Amino acid sequence: MKIKKLYWSASASWYIENDSLFINGVKYSDDIKELFPKFYFMTVKGLSVTELLENYRDKDTNSIIMFIEKLKGEKILVNSLDDLNMLFSSQNRIYKDIDNSGDAVKASPEEREKFTNSALRRKVSNCCFPVELENIPAGDLINRKSVRIFDKEKKISFHQLSALLSAVREYENKKYLYPSGGGLYPVDIYVFVKENRVENLSQGLYLFIPYENRLAVVDIPEGDFKEAHYFSNRDIHESSAFSVYLVYNAEYSMPKYDGLGYYLGIADGGIISQALTVKAFSEEIGSCIIGEMNFDEISEYFHLSPLQKYLHCIEFGIEKKGL
Ligand SMILES: Cc1cc2nc3c(=O)[nH]c(=O)nc-3n(C[C@H](O)[C@H](O)[C@H](O)COP(=O)(O)O)c2cc1C
């Protein structure tokens, strides 16, 4: 499957300031500036590279091709759905107009802790007459927690892995244990197994087929995906026994929901993560959701279509005790 046209990404911005062209905040040469705004008007509607070049017959073809390739590399011109981080990065500058505290929060652990405390005690509106509810005990789930150091000497049994994935498999009559927008279940679940860490499974990237309750090999990468993770998450991935990658598949969602399907897929990703992490806890498997990574570094192993978009991943393994 291939998207034939090139599109100006919905998240990319351009403007002229002091007579210079800026695209996503980066200044471009006067030669490139001359292509605008026509270049934007054409690509926002979508067109092929050949059509694009035909519109600039009087210009140097090579420099236009190089410009197109640069914009493709930066995902400003796209021939797939926007990646999640691109999609939402458009919100940064608008949010920063109201509140610029983010730089301090990101820079210092103390500020981050203060920020977390303020988030957990936030007062959203001026409400009154609070009614105290019954105090219901949390039960065993109070002991669930994110695990960030896994025991590299311990294997996950095949039974444990099967039990974990039973939380997201299909049962008789197309029945799942978790809800999904429109009953489409458009999130594809990939499992990356490390060498000698899961009983009966060799190292490899597998696709979970929920209606067959099987794992099928997609690729056999060498080593692990540590380098694709942000620094603070690298040891979590390095020590885990296996990782689960959630990928939204628009082909089986957008025909019904158009662009909103992307949001519904993200919501499904959250529900799947809850189902898996709670099931992991009951199977004595530790887990940690990883919200952001440089998926581009490893995307080649997944062989995704332009309509499949990575959401987030979860690391699993046996918790390393006694640290
Ligand atoms: C969407 C999402 C993204 C997360 N991303 C990360 C992450 O990148 N690294 C990490 O160490 N923990 C991550 N976590 C785990 C949270 O930090 C953790 O759930 C939270 O601090 C509450 O702690 P607990 O799970 O131990 O109760 C993530 C959790 C969620 C739900």
Q: What is the pLDDT of residues 99-141, one digit of tens each?
A: 888 999 999 999 999 999 999 999 988 888 999 999 999 999 9
With a cut of 90, say whether residue 236 has pLDDT above it.
Answer: yes
Given this model, what pLDDT does residue 193 score?
98
User: How far does the centroid of ligand 1 lie from the alpha carbon of residue 261, in Å?
Assistant: 25
Residue 1 pLDDT: 78
Q: Looking at residue 126, what is its pLDDT?
A: 86
Q: Which pLDDT score, from 0 to 100, does residue 93 have?
A: 84
pLDDT the model gives residue 285: 98
Closest listed residue to residue 243, CA positions, set 303, 201, 194, 187: 194
So what's the pLDDT on residue 294?
Answer: 97
Residue 183's region, left for phi above 0, alpha for psi from -120 to 50, else beta, is left
Looking at residue 68, what is its pLDDT?
A: 96
Residue 41: both structure tokens together: 């008007």
Q: To test the ligand 1 pocket, which listed residue (289, 293, 316) has its Cβ within 8 A of the most ligand atoms?
A: 289
Predicted pLDDT of residue 135: 98
Tokens 């150091």, residue located: 149
Ligand 1 pocket, 148 CB below 6 A?
A: yes
* CA–CA dist 14, 81 (Å, integer): 20
pTM for the complete prediction? 0.94
Q: Is cis: bond before 109, omega within 30 of 0?
A: no
Candidates 3.20.20.140, 3.10.25.10, 3.10.520.10, 3.40.109.10; CATH matching 143-317: 3.40.109.10
Burial state string for 40-71 with b = 16 or more CB within 10 A and e = fewer than 16: eebbeebbebeebeeebeeeeeeebeebbeeb
**Cβ of 89: how many Cβ atoms within 10 Å?**
16
What pLDDT band is residue 195 in, cutting at 50, 70 and 90?
Answer: very high
- Say if residues 22 and 93 touch (Cβ distance below 8 Å): no
Domain ranges in the chain are 7-82, 143-317
Residue 119: predicted pLDDT:
96
Look at residue 229 and tell me whether its pLDDT is greater than 90.
Answer: yes
By alpha-carbon position, which residue is closest to atom 31 of ligand 1? Answer: 289
The verdict on the CB of residue 233 being under 6 Å from ligand 1 is yes
Q: Smallest Cα–Cα separation from 285: which of 242, 312, 319?
A: 319
**pLDDT score at 323:** 75
pLDDT tens string 259-297: 999 999 999 999 999 999 999 999 999 999 999 999 999
Residue 69 in tokens: 């390739």
For 65, the enclosing helix (H) or strand (E) is helix 61-73
pLDDT band at 155 (very low <50, low <70, confident <90, very high): very high
- 98 CA to middle of ligand 1, Å? 26
Q: Tell how far the Cα of 146 is from the centroid of ligand 1, in angstroms.
A: 6
